[in-house]
Structure 1
Amino acid sequence: MGMVIGIDVGGSTTKIVGLHDHKVYSPLLVKANDPVASIYGAFGKFINANGLTLNDIEHVMITGVGSSYIHQPLYGIPTTKVDEFRAIGKGGLFLSKLPRAIVVSMGTGTAYIMADEQGEVHMGGTGVGGGTLLGLSSKMLNIRHFDDLIAMAEGGNLAHIDLNIGDITQDQIVGLPPETTASNFGKISDLATKADIALGIINLVFQTIGMLAVFATRIYNTRDVVLTGNLTTVPQSQAIFEMLHRMYQVQFHTPPYAEFATATGAALSLPTAGNRL
């Protein structure tokens, strides 16, 4: 049996993985504004990096918003389109080795999938995500790249940005420690530095994503959340999810290859396939 290729075609990045003997091989990412060019570029890069030939590939499974531009098999190899939300759920469970969880895909926006051994259910999502980070940082800080925003946020102080429970009451509120955010950017000070603002933007986005995940766990009676997508690489997010874990006893998992969960899930969908081209 040959290798199955999973490709996740996003708006600006394309991710590709190989799946063979139930193991993930050589995850790669290619950036391009043209989805068709990025698909073929990612495929060629993967083949070259692994010393493969077209005959070594059994099937190509594609998903993501950019997959709508593909209407024929890649290089004559059997090619199938997979529902993106289904791929997110399958990939998240596979990489985390969990039987049941809320899988959160953090990309330009954020999608929430309930996944278990019975299948995947798209719960919905939010427009708050990577696009929000870049949009706000561009207008507020003149920063247009993730890496620059992350670097700028180092040493930031949220005390100059966010209004906390402890700022508005001296009473003890059950379940809400004084450091709990009452309002993101609700106490922005004239003393706030660019580092403070950068950290405030990151905190706003990840607290929103995390709290919606907490609500989702209550709806489906689970304590496990699997984090996937590009935003899993933002280092400041770890402290935010750890805080939410302490407050709500929800376990946030970031598995290996979390950025490539959707591409992995697409490859895993071969047995039940989708729309073959």
Structure 2
Amino acid sequence: MNIKKVGIDAGGSLVKITYEESGVFHYKKYPISELASALEWLKIVAPNAKVALTGGKASIMKDQFFSEGKIVPEFESTCAGAMFLLNEAGIDTDNKIIIVNIGTGTSWFVADKNNYTRIFGSGIGGGTLMGLGALLTGETDFSKLVELASNGNKGNVDMLVKDIYYPQEPPIDGNLTASNFAKGVVNQNSSKEDKAAAVINMIGETLVLLSMQAVSAHGADRLVYIGSTLAGNEPLKQCLSSYKKMVGIEHVFLDHGEYAGALGALLLL
């Protein structure tokens, strides 16, 4: 293998690796519990590569594995990677863009060409899905929770606008949530699938509402969603996309968006 550059993003749940070999980018990810074995493998296959490190465990990685590695600020690397992927996909980046990075928690950035600013964050994210999902369903596997949500009905757990107005027609979309989990008192026989769907719905709606505020405050014309929580998570993507008309601007889900931090770190070497 002829690996010259490597970017590593080690966060709260996953370690993501991007490496360049003969001008081509490759992507790998591992649970954070496998950090040591993943980095040992990397040192074997890329002993002479330049390494850039980012994420919450960047300092640990530098001390234990890559003493010559370069630490890159997480927010800068995330935005640099996202902008590279946007350009690679042929998406216009001339105007302001809101980048929403849904990891363990969620961060919002405004990108104005090569200027990046983190504007706020939320504890709602993939960690919420894993933690609350486990408490409600007993499942601890990400893909299993997503599968459950795909087969669930949030309306068996959430109180919807149409529930409040029944039997009259509501003045707004009746499928919007009036109160998350409010039917837990009256419908205690909801399935694990329904509960998982309600968790993802709560996450998606919360992120959309915060994203709308970011778009309004900064005059952006595009929302770009990235982060490991979106990987293979069609229920969350569908939830976010369903509010496109309400937000009024384009939604973009980037291929390899979960690797934006690792890719950006590599690009900043």
User: What interval of TM-score do these two structures reach, taking the shorter chain for normalisation?
Assistant: 0.7 to 0.9
SS at match of 2:9: strand
Q: Which amino acid aligns with 1:263?
A: A
Q: Which amino acid aligns with 1:27?
A: Y
Looking at structure 1, the residues matched to 8 and 213 of structure 2 have their Cα atoms a distance apart, in angstroms, of: 30
Give the TM-score taking structure 2 as reference length: 0.85
Looking at structure 2, the residues matched to 159 and 225 of structure 1 have their Cα atoms a distance apart, in angstroms, of: 27
- Residue in structure 2 matched with residue 136 of structure 1 by the alignment: 132
- Residue in structure 2 matched with residue 225 of structure 1 by the alignment: 223
- Residue in structure 2 matched with residue 9 of structure 1 by the alignment: 10
**164-173 or 223-232, which deviates more:** 164-173
SS at match of 1:143: coil
- Residue in structure 2 matched with residue 85 of structure 1 by the alignment: 75
Q: Which amino acid aligns with 1:200?
A: A
What is the aligned-residue RMSD (CA, Å)? 2.4
Structure 1 pair 61–206 and aligned structure 2 pair: CA distance change class (3 A): same
Looking at structure 2, the residues matched to 6 and 268 of structure 1 have their Cα atoms a distance apart, in angstroms, of: 8
Instruction: Give unmatched runs, 5+ long, in structure 1.
Output: 271-277
Looking at structure 1, the residues matched to 164 and 76 of structure 2 have their Cα atoms a distance apart, in angstroms, of: 43
Say if 1:104 and 1:110, in contact at 8 Å, map to a contact too: yes
Looking at structure 2, the residues matched to 108 and 215 of structure 1 have their Cα atoms a distance apart, in angstroms, of: 21
- Counterparts of residues 167-186 of structure 1 (less than 5 Å): 167-169=163-165, 170=168, 173=171, 176-186=172-182
- Residue in structure 1 matched with residue 122 of structure 2 by the alignment: 126
Say if 2:20 and 2:26, in contact at 8 Å, map to a contact too: no
Looking at structure 1, the residues matched to 80 and 69 of structure 2 have their Cα atoms a distance apart, in angstroms, of: 19
- Residue in structure 1 matched with residue 150 of structure 2 by the alignment: 154
- Alignment deviations for residues 73-111 of structure 1 (CA, whole Å, 9 cap, x no partner): 9567x4211110111111112112242411111111111
SS at match of 1:69: helix
SS at match of 1:177: coil
The alignment status of 1:33 with 2:33, answered yes or no, reads: yes
Say if 1:24 and 1:264, in contact at 8 Å, map to a contact too: no
Structure 1 pair 12–118 and aligned structure 2 pair: CA distance change class (3 A): closer
SS at match of 1:256: coil
Give the TM-score taking structure 1 as reference length: 0.83
Give 1:54's match in structure 2, choosing from 47, 52, 61: 47
The alignment status of 1:266 with 2:268, answered yes or no, reads: no
